[in-house]
């Protein structure tokens, strides 16, 4: 067992780290403050190949793997989580379902644009009335001749309303299974389809430079050929997508946690109180040591989950552990980093204020901490 990075992985991590520090850091505070989407940053990330990282070259990808995506997400989130979640959602929720389950035609139509970052896709699972309990899905799709007619709404959908959003994949009830449960399927809805409305962006506590909308479908018609994979496989599809996505969210959380360490070390050396740097006090040193410990152990947890996934082994429990642990320690580290910054930690001009506001959603999105515990307990046979 060896969790040291290869030369290629190290080079990727360093190039994304440099990009985050040199390109994202100088501009992101203003986007965050104004709640604007950083199109220019996203365009440059596309040119770097970040949106194609875990995809095969035959579809225009970079030929890397899911772990490469995680390394990039960690380095982005070390500086800013709005940009990191934009990439995470675009790749692991947006493009991945088409890559995994799409027909050759769907892949040829959508993947080149999505993998170059020229276009973004959203993943519409959550609804206003149901999130954790996806079996509660109310959105319906009825086959009428050679078209699906979709009615319903989706809540909190990332990347669904940018100027470059090309499509949303939507889970919908398409019938009843033999056991009486809902038959769920996934359908591709291109942006601009009549009957598909994107509400104005939410006013969010954090991730304010990312794009999140409620969507409504009112007799929205798309071709029958827009069904993603097999009819009735919607439930299995999103479980697989979310299992993988948890590793990516864990990586993002580790990045935020490490960013808190970076900023705290800097500030502890600069800030003086009682005639010496606050970092000369063991109380502050121990806080930072504990923050580093948490970031390091959470990183090992997501490396482990990713290694199992890439080896083709079961990884559901490990992905849930990584997501649960990393999101918990991200919130811990953001709280402690803010404390170390004193009153300045409460001022938006300091990155730790952004980290604090961005941390809480990590315990909620792509499966709450309670849901992660349910997954772990179920996998233990409970
Ligand atoms: C900024 C943002 C971006 C998002 N992006 C997307 C996206 O791109 N696509 C998408 O589909 N969704 C997205 N989501 C939705 C997100 O995944 C859900 O908010 C999340 O899964 C929780 O669902 P919910 O909000 O309906 O909470 P609920 O399911 O209503 O849960 C409320 C609370 O009850 C708890 N709870 C529920 N059931 C149980 C139980 N059985 N036992 C114990 N506790 C329980 C939950 O853990 C939680 O604490 C996003 C959300 C946000 C805020």
Cα separation, 322 vs 316, in Å, equals: 10
Cα separation, 83 vs 85, in Å, equals: 6
- 159 CA closest ligand 1 atom index: 8
Q: Which two tokens mark 141?
A: 């799709």
Q: Which two tokens mark 312?
A: 């083709």
Cα separation, 182 vs 332, in Å, equals: 39
Cα separation, 323 vs 329, in Å, equals: 10
Distance, CA 317 to ligand 1 centroid (Å)?
19
Helix (H) or strand (E) holding 84: helix 81-88
Cα separation, 233 vs 93, in Å, equals: 16
- 371 CA closest ligand 1 atom index: 47
Cα separation, 252 vs 76, in Å, equals: 8
Distance, CA 364 to ligand 1 centroid (Å)?
6
- Looking at the annotation, which residues are catalytic? 366
Q: Which of 89, 132, 208 to mutate to test the pocket of ligand 1 (most atoms within 8 A of CB)?
A: 132
Q: CB of 158 closer than 6 A to ligand 1?
A: yes
Q: CB of 186 closer than 6 A to ligand 1?
A: no
Q: Return per-residue pLDDT of the chain as tens, 382 residues.
A: 788 999 999 999 999 999 999 999 999 999 999 999 999 999 999 999 999 999 999 999 999 999 999 999 999 999 999 999 999 999 999 999 999 999 999 999 999 999 999 999 999 999 999 999 988 999 999 999 999 999 999 999 999 999 999 999 999 999 999 999 999 999 999 999 999 999 999 999 999 999 999 999 999 999 999 999 999 999 999 999 999 999 999 999 999 999 999 999 999 999 999 999 999 999 999 999 999 999 999 999 999 999 999 999 999 999 999 999 999 999 999 999 999 999 999 999 899 999 999 999 999 999 999 999 999 999 999 9
Whether the CB-CB separation of 324 and 376 falls below 8 Å is answered with yes
Q: Whose CA is closest to 252, among 37, 87, 36?
A: 87
Distance, CA 350 to ligand 1 centroid (Å)?
29
Distance, CA 81 to ligand 1 centroid (Å)?
19
Q: How many CB atoms lie within 10 A of CB 233?
A: 17
- Three-state SS for 167? strand
């Amino acid at each position: 067992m060896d969790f040291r990075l290869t030369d290629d992985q190290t080079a990727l991590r360093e190039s994304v780290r440099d990009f985050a520090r040199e390109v994202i850091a100088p501009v992101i505070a203003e986007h965050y403050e104004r709640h604007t989407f950083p199109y220019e940053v996203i365009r440059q990330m596309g040119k770097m190949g970040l949106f194609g990282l875990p995809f095969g070259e035959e579809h225009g990808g970079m030929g890397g793997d899911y772990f490469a995506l995680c390394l990039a997400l960690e380095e982005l989130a070390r500086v800013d989580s709005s940009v990191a979640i934009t990439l995470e959602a675009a790749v692991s929720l947006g493009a991945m379902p088409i890559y995994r389950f799409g027909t050759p035609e769907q892949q040829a139509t959508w993947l080149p644009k999505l993998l170059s970052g020229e276009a973004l896709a959203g993943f519409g699972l959550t609804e206003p009335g149901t999130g954790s309990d996806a079996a509660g899905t109310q959105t319906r799709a009825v086959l009428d001749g050679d078209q699906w007619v979709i009615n319903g709404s989706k809540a909190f959908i990332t990347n669904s309303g940018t100027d470059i959003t090309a499509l949303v994949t939507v889970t919908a009830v398409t019938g009843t299974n033999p056991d009486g449960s809902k038959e769920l399927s996934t359908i591709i809805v291109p942006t601009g389809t009549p009957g598909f409305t994107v509400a104005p962006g939410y006013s969010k506590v954090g991730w304010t430079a990312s794009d999140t909308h409620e969507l409504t479908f009112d007799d929205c018609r798309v071709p029958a050929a827009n069904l993603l994979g097999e009819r009735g496989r919607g439930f299995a599809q999103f479980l697989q997508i979310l299992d993988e996505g948890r590793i990516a969210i864990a990586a993002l959380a580790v990045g935020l946690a490490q960013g808190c360490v970076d900023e705290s070390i800097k500030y502890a050396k600069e800030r003086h109180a009682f005639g010496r740097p606050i970092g000369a006090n063991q109380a502050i040193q121990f806080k930072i040591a504990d923050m580093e410990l948490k970031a390091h152990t959470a990183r090992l947890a997501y490396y482990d989950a990713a290694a199992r996934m890439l080896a083709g082994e079961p990884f559901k429990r490990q992905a849930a552990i990584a997501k649960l642990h990393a999101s918990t320690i991200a919130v811990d580290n953001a709280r402690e980093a803010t404390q170390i910054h004193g009153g300045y930690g409460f001022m938006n001009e300091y990155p730790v204020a952004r980290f604090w506001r961005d941390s809480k959603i990590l315990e909620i999105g792509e499966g709450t901490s309670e849901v992660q515990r349910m997954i772990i307990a179920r996998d233990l046979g409970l």
